[in-house]
Chains A and B, each alone.
Chain A
Amino acid sequence: MKRIVLLASVICAVGCGGSAATGELTRRAPAAGAAVDSTSRLEKSAFDAMQAEDWSSADKSFAELRRIDPRNANAVSNHGVVLEHLGDLDTARAAHAEARRLEPDNAEFVLAESRVTARSGDTERALALVEAGLDRSPDHVGLRLLNAALLRESGKPELAVASAQRALLRAPTTYRAVAILARSYIDLDQPMQAATVLRAALAEAPDEASLRVELGRVLESRGDTIEALGQFERAVQIDDTYASGWTNIGALALRFRDYTKALDAYRRARESGASTCEAWAGTGYAYEGLSEGELAIENLEQALERCPADTELLYSLGTVAMTLLGDQERALGYFERYVRARPELAGDHPVRMTIEALKSNRENAEPQESR
């Protein structure tokens, strides 16, 4: 091998391109410009796919792009975003880490890595990354916001308040910071503070739907249900695809047994893209209120699928199966799953009693075939 290389270098010394030396035509390597064109096309196709939310295509394009140009930090980071959308958080996190390694001063890359780290559940690591990023880019609003959100998540609402306030001083129209600030105040049991900052922000940006939703939540926590509903309704007036607004309208309607309105609100929420367990569960409860047992179960199952840890859904499913459908077997199944998920329930807990009763009924009931 070494000898071959040496020969090649000798030949090149005589006349590169080969034709002069051998008399044969040889294929030339693509010119640099052609390589750049190829990269550009690939990059464009990757971003086009991203734009179209065609995450799989985007994944392939970015992977190829990274293979050709592994030092293209922009491509690496965007690939991470695509991977996030595909749910591959570990690979996404690695991609963002690579992008940050390539460009340590790029706050966007730091933000992306921090975010995906937090989504992966490593809040502590995410906070450390964010704070390191803020040391380099103290004015970066995105980092500051994530910092505030993570501090709150970490149970440090005072620090979250300070961080959110700093973000607001840096960029007063960053209404996400107001939302985080308000939530932090709620955490600190300062609902009035929360309401005040939200009202102040709404005075500046009355059409900021997210702020209205936040204010609605605060008002509801203070017992001002009608005002809270008003804020949610205003939010969906501003943006009729604002899923959180619809979801919360549904929740309030549900509390007051206004099932028709609740069902309508949840429908709008889901049409607006909400696929949260709240939206599915709310829909299920609305159907329950309207005595639509199967539909109720169907939607509650959807909710359970998204929020398997929400064991109360199992109890609700059991109740619906029993009361609306009279399907004791299904009810028993849900209740048994419920108690398995809640082993701490006392032995005389009503659910356990119900299970026993249902089991007893089953035992006492004559099998159809035998009869």
Chain B
Amino acid sequence: MGRMLFLVAFFAIGPSAHAEDAAPAEFAWRNRPLEADMDERASKKRDEAIVKLTRLIDSLDDGPESADLYFRLSELHWAKSRSQRLRAMEGWDRALDAWHESGAKGSEPKLEDRRRYRDSEFEKAKALGLYRTILDLYPDYERRDEVLYNLASALYESGNSADGVKAFWKLLKTAPRSRFVPDTWLELGEHFFEAYRLGDARKAYQRAIDTSQELEADRDDKARVYSYALYKLAWVEFNAERYSTALEHLKSVVDYAKVERSRAMAKRDRIQLYEESLGDMAAVFAYLDATDDAFEFYRRELGDANAYPYLLRLARKYHEAGKYRAEIKTLERVNSAYPTAPQAPANQVAIVAAHTELDNSEAVRTGARRLVDLYAPDSPWWRANQDDSAVQREAYGLVEAELAKLALAQHEIAQTTKLEANYELASTLYQEYLSKFADSENAYRFGFFRAEILFDLGRFDAAARAYRDVVDADQDGEYAKSAAYTELLAWEEVLAETDARASSTTATLSSVEQNLVTACDRYVRIAPDDEETVKVRMKAARIFADHERFDDARSRWNELIGNHPRDPLASVAMRASFESFASEKRWGELREYASKLRSQDIAEDKRAASSIQKTIEAASFNEILHEREPKVEPKEAGELYRAFTQAHPESSYAPQALFNAMLRYREAQRFDLAIPMGTELVDTYNRPPPSRPTQARKSAPAELRKSEDLASLRAKSMFVLASMYGAAAQPTEAISWYLRYANEFPRGEERDDSLYNGAVLLQEMGEYERARKVLEKYLELASSQAEAEPARWRLGEVLEKLEQWKAAERHYRGLVLSAPAGGKLCARYRAHNARRLGGASAQELRAEWEALASQWQSLPDSDRSAPCSQDAIGAAAFYALDADYRGVIAMKLVGSEREVSRRLVAKLNRVNVLQRGYVEVLSTGSGEYGVAALYRVGRLYQDLAENLSESTCPGRLTDEQCMMYEAELLEQARPLEAKAADAFNKAVMKGFELRLYNDWLRKSVSALNVLEPGRFPPERELELVSDNPELQAPTARLDR
């Protein structure tokens, strides 16, 4: 472990290590320089020197001075060997690189195969040979110890350490007082140290220290060996874990160095060793956890400014030793003491890293925060170092890099541990990073990573926003597609979690919904060809649709349909579009939209095509119904519907369109156009479907053929047709349609009205038998008996017209039972009248008429004055006298004188009684029977006068007496005629007054004209006139 530390201390500090470690600690402790001369010119000079020296040796005789020449020649060959070897190494490196770059084709280059390596070996052999030659041939050569030292060093350096060590030992034995002894001990110390033979190394270094002081030598050499051996001795102790001793040795090195440094001629190696020792002491302090001592030592020894790098080294040693708390403490103390030091950001980075090692998330978060706060641009540190842009740049890079590394590492840990806290920390670190390094190369990637973490943490709102930032940063970026997609997933989660949907009754989307649809749109834009875009388009559209923002929804559905016509969702989108238009009642636009789809790829699918066609039909129909019809005149509306049925004869809307066309034409008073519509609907759409498709015959669509709707339309059409024909003065056709309706739709809503209307028309047309049957059917089926009351009366009238008196009487007697109170009297009256007209005698009916009159008396006043009641009481009063009237008229004044007188008296009495009776008829208020009664009164007196004047002369009277008798009778008849004329006159006047231009009036006039000849001129009958404007010239101007 200790050895490892040593190695690290000298060689393993990388490029990011501390500044003082930038140069390897290669101070010149050796007596013999090791560097190779790589200069071409120098190499050439050396070769020339070798040639000259070799010639010189060859030209001279062997002598003591030859050894010196050999020594110089051996040194040149040794130098050349080293140079060639280094060049061979360089060439080998390049060959290896090329071999790797070419894909490692062929055999791998070897150092041994290189020419320069072989040259190097050759030169080395020459040098070693020359060293040995000197030692063999010139045992007394004065520089033999130096030759031996160089030979040992060369052997050791060339890898032959055993022979090298033997040569060193030989030197110590053969030249114990040589000036090379301290160095030889030093070499051996190094040899033992390398072999981790610490005890031997400690002795060897100690001997080097000792001999360097004992032997006479150059002072610098002494100091050099002393310092280094002492220094290495500290490391021996260090590796032996004798830290305090090591610390003491190092302090001694420092102290010695300070003494040496005070000398004017202080060598660089001593200064370097001084600095190395100071630095190495940091490792020792770290092992001793002597932070305070270290701070105290360095600041005392070096001052605040110079102590700084050593304190950092101490921190680093803590770090290397895994003593992160000590490291943190050290660095915090350093940064506190040197807040504006250029190194401060790096220290803070190290603090955060140490916290990371300690798995202290909160501290890492805080540390990262501090890193950003304290050392980012515009921080106090930044301003303090404003004159040093390089430091600023370095700090910026450092903080960025360290924060990046930290975040990535934390993210990796989180992914491994799956712990929420780790994810949280990673997220924070990414956030810190992004807050300051948004423009950095890592920012884009980290933004995505952070978003991913937030999503994994279930922080969907933040995740969504983070994903959005990623997409916005670079829409063509590596993570754009993924981020865009996950963003919308995140918004969906937010929506689901928070129930952040806006009320569907408002057109305004909630912020979350808006974000979601924006994310959807963005995704579609970024990844238009991705298979998920279909669903995404659908999703966004759905949100808009939920808020009835159908224009927005449809634009997305349309994109879906246009771009993915064969995707199952395209059909869904299409239907949704259709429904949206429908829900908005934008029928015209729906029709246009569906019509356009017909020519698009989606229509290649049969089911879609069918749906499109049906939609076009529905939209066209509703467009007319809701949009166009309200703006046009009824006739034009009818034409629109008509055009629809022509364009879409097989449409399920065709029957309704026909029906509407009929209604609109009817409204426009164009029955000539309306009737064909209704007829077509009734007849055409009742047909079975064509047996062969080629048959060009319309029929009801399958879905409508048996439907209630179609039946209802047909039924209504029949009724409307009937009413139109009725209004157009075509009663025969009207009757036909009414009865067809009742026949085809026995449960139809208009059945009762159809039957009734048909019956009324039949009655008016004089088709009484048919009218009777229809009325009877109506009365049998009528759903409301109360509403059927008029039909009952009408049936009575029809039976009267048919002169089916018994049936009529029965019918009216039935009405007596069913009619309301006010109608019962009328029904009785009609029944009596039917019986009368059926031939019942006046005598037979007398009691019934009297009973009717009695019933009339018991009626309330309101019922008495009703027209039918008036007729009833008039008829009752009148016909109750009928038997008596006929009896009186039948009484003839015949027989004997006495008998005639008796009969005359009797007849007069009965006339008086009847007259009173007829006066009572007048008092009923019935005009018709009043005139009749007056006529009857006149007729009674007229009859009396006629009977009187026509009575035969008694046989006992002579002719002359007879003449006188008859003259007397005529005289007596005259007042009777006057009474008759008076009655007739009253009848005429009453008739005139009441405009009762009837038979009673006509009879009265005739009778009066008989009694008063010339009272009325001959009857003048003028034709009734009517207008004939067709042939009259208009009075108004004619305009084109």
Please list the residues of chain A having a beta carbon within 8 angstroms of any beta carbon in chain B. Answer: 47, 50-51, 53, 73-74, 77-78, 81, 84-85, 92, 103, 106, 108-109, 112, 115-116, 118-119, 139, 145-146, 149, 164-166, 168-173, 176-181, 183, 192-193, 195-197, 199-201, 204, 210, 213-214, 216-217, 220, 225-226, 228-229, 233, 244, 247-248, 250-258, 260-261, 276, 278, 281-282, 285, 288-289, 316, 319-320, 323
Contact of B669 among A172, A195, A213, A323 (CB under 8 A): A172
In whole angstroms, what is the CA distance A112 to B998 when docked?
44
Interface of B is mostly: loop
| Min C-beta distance of A338 to chain B, whole Å | 15
- B671 adjacent to chain A (CB < 8 Å): yes
Query: Are B1037 and A85 in contact (CB-based, < 8 A)?
Result: no
Q: Is B8 an interface residue (CB 8 A)?
A: no
Q: Is A179's CB under 8 angstroms from B1026's CB?
A: yes
Q: State the Cβ distance, B622 to closest chain A Cβ, in Å.
A: 29
Q: Which residue of A lies closest to B666 (CB)?
A: A172
Contact yes or no, B1030 A81, CB < 8 A: no
**What are 26 A-B interface contacts by the 8 Å CB criterion?**
A77-B1038, A78-B1038, A108-B1038, A115-B1030, A146-B1031, A149-B1031, A165-B730, A169-B672, A172-B671, A173-B669, A192-B764, A193-B731, A196-B764, A200-B726, A200-B734, A210-B1026, A217-B1024, A226-B996, A228-B1024, A233-B995, A248-B1025, A251-B1022, A252-B997, A255-B997, A256-B1005, A285-B1020
**How far, in angstroms, from A177 to B1030 measured CA to CA in the complex?**
10
Beyond the given A199-B764, A316-B1020, please list 8 additional residue pairs across the A-B interface where CB-CB is below 8 A.
A85-B1033, A168-B728, A168-B729, A169-B675, A170-B671, A200-B761, A256-B992, A319-B1018
Instruction: Say whether B867 faces chain A, with CB atoms less than 8 Å apart.
Output: no
0/1 string, B753-771, CB within 8 A of A gives 1: 0000000010011100000
Please, what's the 1-or-0 string for B1017-1035, where 1 marks a CB less than 8 Å from any CB in chain A? 1111111111111110111
Q: Which one, B670, B988, B1020, B1031, contacts A115 given CB within 8 A?
A: B1031
Asked if A276 and B1025 sit within 8 Å, CB to CB, the answer is yes
- A288 & B1017 in contact (Cβ 8 Å cutoff): yes
Whether, in the assembled complex, B747 has its beta carbon less than 8 Å from a beta carbon of chain A, the answer is no
- A103: chain B residues at CB < 8 Å are 1040
Partner of A247, one of B765, B995, B1025: B1025
What's the Cα separation between A73 and B1040 when bound, in Å?
9
Bound together, the chains give a CA A165 to CA B1005 distance in angstroms of 43
User: Max chain A CB contacts within 10 Å: which of B996, B1027, B1029?
Assistant: B1027
Q: Does B73 contact A (CB under 8 A)?
A: no
Given contacts A166-B672, A213-B1026, A248-B1024, contact A74 B728 (CB under 8 A): no
A298 CB, min distance to chain B CBs, angstroms: 16
Asked if A204 and B727 sit within 8 Å, CB to CB, the answer is yes
B1038: chain A residues within 8 A (beta carbon): 74, 77-78, 81, 108-109, 112
> When A73-B1040, A170-B672, A214-B1026 are in contact, do A257 and B988 touch as well, CB less than 8 Å?
yes
Chain B nearest Cβ from A285, distance in angstroms: 4
Contacts of B731 in A (CB 8 A): 193, 196-197, 200
Contacts of B1016 in A (CB 8 A): 257, 289
B333 within 8 A of A: no
Please tell me if the beta carbons of A81 and B1025 are within 8 angstroms of each other in the complex.
no
In the bound assembly, the distance between CA atoms of A50 and B729 in angstroms comes to: 35
Specify which chain B residues have a CB less than 8 angstroms from the CB of A73 in the assembled complex: 1040
Given A115-B1033, A166-B672, A256-B1005, A210:B1027 Cβ within 8 A: yes
User: A50-B1037, A257-B1016 in contact; A201/B729 too (CB < 8 A)?
Assistant: yes
CA distance A246 to B370 in the complex (A): 117
Give every chain A residue within 8 A of B764 (Cβ-Cβ). 192, 195-196, 199
> How far apart are the CA atoms of A192 and B765 in the complex, in Å?
5
Q: Nearest 3 pairs between A and B by C-beta?
A: A84-B1033, A192-B766, A197-B729
**A255 and chain B: residue at smallest CB distance:** B1021
Q: Which residue of A lies closest to B1015 (CB)?
A: A257
Do A226 and B998 touch (CB < 8 A)? yes
Q: Distance (Å) between the CB of B1010 and the closest chain A CB?
A: 13
Q: How far is the CA of A53 from the CA of B1001 in the complex (A)?
A: 45
> With an 8 A cutoff between CB atoms, is B991 at the interface?
yes
- Which residues of A lie under 8 Å from residue B992 when comparing CB positions? 256, 258, 260-261
* B1022 and A282 within 8 A (CB): yes
A265 to B428, CA, bound (A): 113
Distance, CA A278 to CA B1029, complexed state (A) = 17
Contacts of B730 in A (CB 8 A): 165, 168-169, 197
Contacts of A229 in B (CB 8 A): 995, 997
Contact of B1026 among A115, A196, A200, A217 (CB under 8 A): A217
Residues of the B chain whose Cβ atoms lie less than 8 Å from the Cβ of A253 = 997
How many angstroms from the CA of A254 to the CA of B1024 in the assembled complex? Answer: 11
**Separation of A201 and B729 alpha carbons in the complex (Å):** 7
Task: Let me know if B1031 and A196 touch, CB within 8 A.
Answer: no
Min CB distance A226 to B, Å, is 6
A320 to B1016, CA, bound (A): 12
Say if the beta carbon of B530 comes within 8 Å of chain A. Answer: no
Say if the beta carbon of B687 comes within 8 Å of chain A.
no
- A278→B1037 contact, CB < 8 A: no
B765, B1005, B1025 — which one has the most chain A CB atoms within 10 A of its CB? B1025
A residues within 8 A CB of B727? 172, 200-201, 204
> Is the pair A213, B729 in contact by a Cβ cutoff of 8 Å?
no
Other-chain residue from B729, B1014, B1025 in contact with A244 (beta carbon distance below 8 A): B1025
| Min distance, Cβ A236 to any Cβ of chain B, angstroms | 13
> Is B35 among interface residues, defined by CB-CB distance under 8 A?
no
B1002 at the interface (CB under 8 A from A): yes
- Given known A-B contacts A225-B997, A288-B1017, A178 and B1031 have beta carbons under 8 A apart: no
Task: State the CA gap A281–B1021 with chains docked (Å).
Answer: 10
Taking the closest CB of chain B, its distance from the CB of A182, in whole angstroms, is 8
Q: Does B292 contact A (CB under 8 A)?
A: no
Residues in A whose Cβ lies below 8 Å from that of B1029: 176
State whether the Cβ of B497 lies closer than 8 Å to any Cβ in chain A.
no
Taken together as a complex, chains A and B put the C-alpha atoms of A285 and B1031 apart, in Å, by: 29
Bound-complex Cα distance A257 to B734 (A): 42
A244 pairs with B1020, CB closer than 8 A: no
Question: Please, which residue of chain B has its CB at the minimum distance from the CB of A145?
Answer: B1030
CB-CB under 8 A from B1005, the residues of chain A are: 256-257
Docked-complex contact B1024 and A216, CB < 8 angstroms: yes
Q: Which residues of A contact B998 (CB under 8 A)?
A: 225-226
A92: which B residues are within 8 A, CB to CB?
1033
Using A78-B1038, A165-B729, A193-B765 as known contacts, say yes or no to A149 and B1022 having CB atoms under 8 A apart. no
Q: Is B439 an interface residue (CB 8 A)?
A: no
Contacts of A145 in B (CB 8 A): 1030
Q: Which of A139, A181, A256 makes the CB contact (< 8 A) with B729? A: A181
Contact partners of A47 in chain B: CB under 8 A: 1037
Contacts of B1030 in A (CB 8 A): 115, 145-146, 149, 176, 180
Instruction: For A99, give the chain B residue with the smallest CB separation.
Output: B1038
Q: B1040 and A170: CB pair below 8 A?
A: no
Residue in chain A with minimal CB distance to B1017: A288
Contact, CB under 8 Å: A200 / B1020:
no
Complex interface: chain A residues within 8 A of B1031 (CB): 115, 118-119, 146, 149
Q: How far is the CB of B59 from chain A (nearest CB, A)?
A: 140
Shortest Cβ gap from A185 to chain B (Å): 10
Within 8 A of A (CB), among B115-144: none
Name the residue on A nearest B1022 (C-beta): A251
Residue numbers in B under 8 Å from A85 (CB-CB): 1033, 1035
Give the CA-CA distance A161 to B76 in the complex, in Å. 149
Residues of the B chain whose Cβ atoms lie less than 8 Å from the Cβ of A192: 764-766
CB distance from B523 to the nearest CB of A (A): 63
The reply to whether A116 and B997 contact each other, CB–CB distance below 8 Å, is no
Report if B62 contacts A (CB, 8 A): no
Nearest chain-B residue to A225 (Cβ)? B997
